[in-house]
Amino acid sequence: MFELLDASLAALLKDSRLSTALAQLPTANVRFQTPGTYAPDRATVSLFLYETRENRELRDPVPIIQPRNGLSVRRRPPLRVDCAYLVTAWSNLIGEDKITAEHGLLAEALNWLTRFPLIPDRYLQLGGLTGQVFAPPTLVAQMDAAKSVGEFWSALGIPPRPFFNLIVTITMDLDQALEEFPVTTVLTSYQQRSNAASAEQRIAIGGTVRDRANNTVRDAWVRLEPVGLTTVSDADGRFIFENIAAGTGVTLRARAPGKGEASTPAGFQIPSLTGNYDLQFPN
């Protein structure tokens, strides 16, 4: 994913509209190598990815629940990751001309990048970084007080040079999901105060009616037998029976025009041991 972010940033820095706005940046090369490991043959903007870390301020602790084949799929929310780049400018000139060219190119890169508080989708598409739930925000030229600039250049083994930081926050799908049955049974107990013998339990159950192709069926007639209660599925094929008693040998039966009949298997009981009350037409 980081290489796709690199490609998206390269697309942003090579936008054709730069030719009318800035002088050096349109023809400059864009590289992502460690500074000092190359001697460019032409003007180059280097973006060195020196750190990635979770953005805890943007962390979402609430899981995502999605329906899938009659089950509820619980997914971890996307991870928000700060990608910190060190941006430097390089020239193949010598002497004072080299310094002037590098300072000018660095200023143009700063000028252009600060125009994008969010990276537009067109650059993400060009870089292949698709599926971003949130448009990636950027922070440009925000110094990190916790980092020692002197130690950084010393670790790279090269003389210090002008730079600025670019931080881009991307969304990473952790793709970790747990399939589980949705909550379809609610148990409620009643009793008179200090009278355990008066305890009574009432139940609410819910399910979904589907056709043979697993599409939901609206306006299906659903009956609970032998209790004799009837309801109709809603626009999403869901139905609910409330305030019923526990029991065995019950049957949930659904009918709909052109669908035939669907019912629970023999020996079905309420509450269901699996928590599943869905009905599917065989035809």
Q: What's residue 179's pLDDT?
A: 45
Q: Please check whether residues 270 and 144 belong to one and the same domain.
A: no
Comparing 192 with 57, the larger pLDDT belongs to: 57
Name the burial class of residue 220, with classes exposed (0-12), middle (13-18) and buried (19+) by CB atoms within 10 angstroms of its CB: buried
Q: What's residue 140's pLDDT?
A: 93
Which among 161, 178, 195 is the end of a domain?
178
Q: Please check whether residues 74 and 104 belong to one and the same domain.
A: yes
Q: Are 260 and 281 in contact (CB under 8 A)?
A: yes
Distance between CA atoms of 28 and 32, rounded to whole angstroms? 13
pLDDT at 186 over 70: no
* Sole residue written with tokens 């697309």: 11
pLDDT at 193 over 80: no
Q: Please check whether residues 151 and 261 belong to one and the same domain.
A: no
Q: What's residue 177's pLDDT?
A: 45
Q: How many CB atoms lie within 10 A of CB 127?
A: 19
Q: Are 59 and 44 in contact (CB under 8 A)?
A: no
Q: Please check whether residues 257 and 271 belong to one and the same domain.
A: yes
Tokens of 70: 């009659």
33-92 pLDDT tens trace: 888 766 788 899 999 998 899 888 887 766 555 555 555 555 667 788 999 999 999 988
* Sole residue written with tokens 């054709």: 16
Query: What is the domain extent for residue 212?
Result: 182-280
Comparing 21 with 12, the larger pLDDT belongs to: 12
Q: What's residue 69's pLDDT?
A: 55
Q: Please check whether residues 38 and 133 belong to one and the same domain.
A: yes
Which among 129, 151, 178 is the end of a domain?
178
Distance between CA atoms of 270 and 273, rounded to whole angstroms? 8
Tokens of 262: 């669907």
Q: What's residue 180's pLDDT?
A: 44
Q: Please check whether residues 124 and 215 belong to one and the same domain.
A: no
Q: Please check whether residues 77 and 104 belong to one and the same domain.
A: yes
Q: Are 28 and 101 in contact (CB under 8 A)?
A: no
As for how many domains the chain has, the answer is 2
Tokens of 12: 């942003």
217-239 pLDDT tens trace: 999 999 988 888 888 998 888 88
CATH of the domain at 236: 2.60.40.10
23-35 pLDDT tens trace: 888 889 999 988 8
Q: Please check whether residues 22 and 148 belong to one and the same domain.
A: yes
What is the average per-residue pLDDT within 151-166? 83
pTM of the model: 0.59
Which among 178, 193, 215 is the end of a domain?
178
Q: Please check whether residues 253 and 144 belong to one and the same domain.
A: no
